[in-house]
Structures are given as structure tokens and as C-alpha cells.
Structure 1
Amino acid sequence: MSLILGLLGGMGPAATLVFLEKLQAFTPAKAEQDHIRVIADINPGVPDLSAPGSGAGPVLAEMAGALRGAGADVLAIACNAAHAHADLIQRASGLPLIDMIETASDAACATGVRRVGVLGARGALRLYREYLAAQAMGMVSLPSDRQAVFMEALGRIKAGDLSSPVQAQMAELAADLAAEGAEAVIAGCTEIPLVLRPEEVRIEFIDPVEHLARRCVDVCLGMEAVPQLLGS
């Protein structure tokens, strides 16, 4: 019997649905009963994760605790920036977390590159810088003026704008990272792959949503060990 996955989502809703689609697609199921049971809290009411002191941590912790109460065995978060509260989420729920930042950083390391560009909000950038440094990789980020352009484009995507101009803008921002010496690009916000495809990036493109979905399948089906619970 597979483990039950508890999913903290809604940040934003469209990216969470993409994660669920990938989770199903990557599951080696021969019948519908072979798929992984998922208990999801798709909560777009989580306070803005890009705003310091927004109070998102306690909300996420409460969601995680409720997922455990509903029967979840292990957690995943379909949002990069929310991993800033990973410790609190695990302490509150008593459940191990399949870490998206760790998973994407491992995927970058596996490519053999040494300089990784990350498109993401400030909180996600901070997390990726730490994880990449722990694997002897440097992180390339956008200069402040281009970061402001990225955040404006991200806001448009979150509002449902997946138009060609937004797609072109995100491709240009990825190209900026390559021009600064990045050998690979991590989509450090789950909305980015909604408008940016790998073939539009001339260097290695790493989609954390895809890698997280694959790892959740492996963990829940017993093909990979359950991550160690914080403090255990």
C-alpha cells in the first residue's frame, strides 16, 4: 500500500493543479487503484509569501496539521517560497516533508553544472542560494532592475495572464541569467513553467514542480526512502 501524500497548495492554484497532473502522469499505474492517494489543501488565502511578516508560516503550519489529521503520511508543498517555513510545518504536523528546494538543487547538481541561475521571488532565491552552495554550486540571480521586471511579470501570471508578451518576457529574463554565466536555470516560482518551456531556454531548464512530482511518486510507492523527519 502506498503512502498518503498531504499537499499544501494554492500558491498559486494553477501551479498546484499542474503538480497534481504531473503526479498522476508519473505514477506507474495499471489501474486507477494504483494511483497515489492525495489529500490536498489548495488554499489561495495563504498570506503573501513575498511580504515579510505576512503571517504565512502559522497558516501553513495549521494546514499541515490538518492534513495529518486527515490521514497524510508525508507532505509536499507546491510552492518554492513556502519552504522558508519548512521547519515550522514539520514541527506542527509531525510529518516529514519532501523538500522541493532540495529536490531541484539535487537535479541541478546532477547535470554537472557549477553556476545555476534562479528565477524567483526573494525568499525563494535565498533558499536556493543556501542549498546550491551546500553542493558547491554558485547561484546567478537577476540584477535589481530586472528582478523588478520579473516580479511584475509574475504578478501578471498569478492574475491569469499567460499571453505571448508575458511568455516572451520570461524567456528574456532566463536569457539574462545565461548571459550572466548561468549554465542552467531553475524555475524558482511554480508559475514560471506555465509560460516558459524548456525549448525556449538555451541552457538546461529545471522545473522543480516536475522533479518534486517524480520524487513524491518514488517516496509514496516505496522506491525511495521517506525523508528524515526534522529533529529525528
Structure 2
Amino acid sequence: MSLILGVLGGMGPAATLDFLARLQAYTPAERDQDHIRVLMDLNPQVPDRNVPGAGAGPVLAEMAGGLAGGGAEVLAMPCNTAHAHADLIVRASGLPLIDMIGGAAKAAADTGARRVGVLGTKGALRLYREYLAARGLGLVALGAERQEAFMEVLYRIKGGDRSAQARAEMAGLARDLVAEGAETLIAGCTEAPLVLSPAEVSVPLIDAGDLLARRCVAVCLEREPPPSI
């Protein structure tokens, strides 16, 4: 038997589906019954996490409580920015939340890098700055204009754009971070890996969502303990 995973999803839907595909792919299974049971709340109606005061926290808390009521034993959320509400989610559900930000920060430290570039929203960057600083690492962020360009392409990806142009723009943003001294990059937005691959950058690229999927498999199959509450 494995632990039942509850997923707070829909932020955005394509990134959540990519996460679920990775979760399935990383689970060692020879038959249907070997896979992890997943309870999913794919809710695209969560208020925009990038708009201060939009009210995402209470909606996420309600989702988490619903997953706990449905039988989930551990939670995951494939949205970096929404981890600003992690404490509220844990309090509302009484369940451990597998920390995507912490997992990516640890992976960055494990590369030996001292300066880590992050492709993410302003909210995600605040979280990553804190987590990286706790490990003695510096965060490299885009300048104001290039950050605006990142947000523009991000919302296009959420709208279904995975064109060659979107790929080229995201790769250009990643190269900007390397030019500013980043020795490792974190795809700190779950949409970024939909159009950016490791082959397109000259330094290690850490996919926070991919790491989250791998950690969920390990925790749910009880190969490692769940996070403490």
C-alpha cells in the first residue's frame, strides 16, 4: 500500500497535467494497482497568485481541506508562487505538504553553485531568495524589463503558446541569467519547462516540478518519510 497523494492543481492546468504525467512515469509499476492513488483538485479558478490581495490563500486552504476530507495523506502543489500560502494549506488540512521550493533549492546547492539564477514570478523569487540564502547561496534575477518579458511569455504559455518563438524567448531569458553570473538555473515556474529544455542552456537546469514528482513517488511509496507538520 502507498500513501494517498492529494494534489492542489490547476495553476496552470497544462503544468499540472505535465506533473501528473511525470508522477506516473517515475512510479515503478508493472500493473495498474502498483501506481499511487492521487486525489486531484485541478482548479483553474484559483485567483491569480501574482496579484497581491487577490485571495488565493483561502481558496487553496479550502482545496487542501477538501483533499484531506477525501482521504489524502500527503499533499503536493505544482505551483511555485502558491507556496507562499504553504503554512495556511498545512493548517487547513492538517497534512504535510511536500515542499517544491525547498527541493529545488537543495538540488541547486548540490550542484556546487554559489550563484543560482531563477526563472520565476516575483512571488516565487521572494521564496527562492529566502531558501537559497539559508544555504549560503545567492540568487540571480532578471532585470525589471526582462522580468516583465518573462511574465509576458509566461501568460502566453498559460494560454497554450508553445511555439518556436516562445521557446526562443524563454531560452533567451535563461541565457540572460547565465550572463549575469548564474552557475545553475532553476525553472521556478512550472510553465517554464514546457518550453525550455536543459540542452538550451549552458549550465545545469533544475526543474522544480520534475523534482517534486520524484519526491512524491518516494514519499508515497514510503521510501522516504513525509515532511513534518
Could you state the TM-score of these two structures normalised by the residue count of structure 2?
Answer: 0.99
Correspondence for 1:122: 122
What's the CA shift string for 1:9-43, capped at 9, x where partnerless? Answer: 00000000000000011011121101000000000
Shift of 1:162: 0.7
Match of 2:70 in 1: 70
Which has the larger displacement, 103-112 or 91-100? 103-112
Show CA shifts across 1:190-219 (max 9, x none): 000110011001110000111000000000
After superposition, the C-alpha distances for 1:38-80 in whole angstroms (9 at most, x for unaligned) are 0000000000000000000000000000000000000000100
Equivalent position SS for 1:190? coil
Matches within 5 A, 1:122-141: 122-141=122-141
Deviations 1:74-127 (A, max 9, x none): 000010000000000000000000010011111111111111000110000000
Q: What is the count of residue pairs matched by the alignment?
A: 229
- Which residue number corresponds to residue 4 of structure 1? 4
**Percent identity between the aligned chains?**
67
Name the residue aligned to 1:90: 90
Partner SS state of residue 222, structure 1: coil
Give the whole-Å Cα distance in 1 for the aligned partners of 2:165 and 2:37: 38
Gaps in structure 1 of 5+ consecutive residues = none
| Partner residue, 2:15 | 15
For 2:182, the equivalent position in structure 1 comes to 182
Q: Does 1:165 align with 2:165?
A: yes
Counterparts of 1:9-88 in structure 2, within 5 Å, are: 9-88=9-88
Matching of residues 203-222 of structure 1 within 5 Å: 203-222=203-222
Determine the C-alpha separation between the residues in 1 that align with 2:66 and 2:201. Answer: 39
Give me the whole-angstrom Cα distance separating, in 1, the residues matched to 2:102 and 2:148. Answer: 26
What pairs with 1:188-203 in structure 2 (closer than 5 Å)? 188-203=188-203
| Alignment gaps of 5+ in structure 2 | none
Shift of 1:145: 0.8
Mapped to 2, the partners of 1:30 and 1:108 lie a distance apart of 33
SS at match of 1:136: coil
Cα shift readout 1:150-197 (whole Å, capped 9, x = no counterpart): 111111111111111110000000000000000011011100011001
Question: Which moved further from structure 2: 103-112 or 44-53?
Answer: 103-112
RMSD (Å), alpha carbons: 0.5
Cα distance in structure 2, aligned partners of 1:35 and 1:210: 17
Shift in Å, 1:129: 0.4
SS for the counterpart of 2:45 is coil
Corresponding position of 2:150: 150
Whole-Å Cα distance in 2 between the matches of residues 31 and 114 of structure 1?
43
Aligned equivalents of 2:112, 2:24: Cα separation in 1 = 29
